[in-house]
Amino acid sequence: MEIKRLSWLHDYQYESLPKEYQELKKEFNTLNTSLKKKSRRLDKIKEEIKELKSNIKIESQRHNQLYLELEFINKTYTPKSYLQVYSKNGKGEYLHVIVKYLNTSKTIYLGSKLKVINSLSNYIPNLNEKNYVFKIGNFLSPLISKHFIKLNNPKEFLSFTYKMKDIIEVLEKENV
């Protein structure tokens, strides 16, 4: 943006101008000064934007590099679990949680569907026979990750056998 200038006036020239032109000249000078300040500020901001873009590019490259190096943690050390319902020789439905961890699967037997729903209904609000698969799965996933899996000794989880009574013990300790 180009800021247009008027030639400089001496005091005696300025004084000889009609009053309305003196006011216009004064307003012009004020605007000229304001435009110069804003133009310099805009240039500084543009320079700062260039610098920020450069910093973002450098940090983004480092971020992507670290992500690639650490991505295996989410895939390997973050357990994934889900509830499975199965029938045993027509005698009823039974539940167990399958936990995928360290590229292996581990099953935690919970028991019959009715017993599990009854024992967990104290800890899971509005648990019933229609929503139990979703609610129990969502409830047990963080509980298993927090209390049974230790990242400093990951193979410990795979070496022990866990049952519903272990889960109930943890829940009772948390509610104390």
pLDDT tens for 55-112 read 999 999 999 999 998 887 777 777 788 888 888 777 888 898 888 877 788 888 888 8
Cβ neighbours, 10 Å, residue 139 = 18
User: What pairing do the DSSP bridges indicate for beta strands 80-87 and 93-101?
Assistant: antiparallel
pLDDT tens for 119-167 read 888 888 888 888 888 888 888 888 888 888 776 676 777 778 888 888 8
Kindly state the DSSP code that residue 137 receives in the 8-state scheme: H
Give CA–CA dist 44/35, Å, rounded: 14
Contact 32, 5 (CB under 8 A): yes
Cβ neighbours, 10 Å, residue 154 = 14
Contact 96, 108 (CB under 8 A): yes
Q: What are the extents of the domains in the chain?
A: 11-75, 80-175
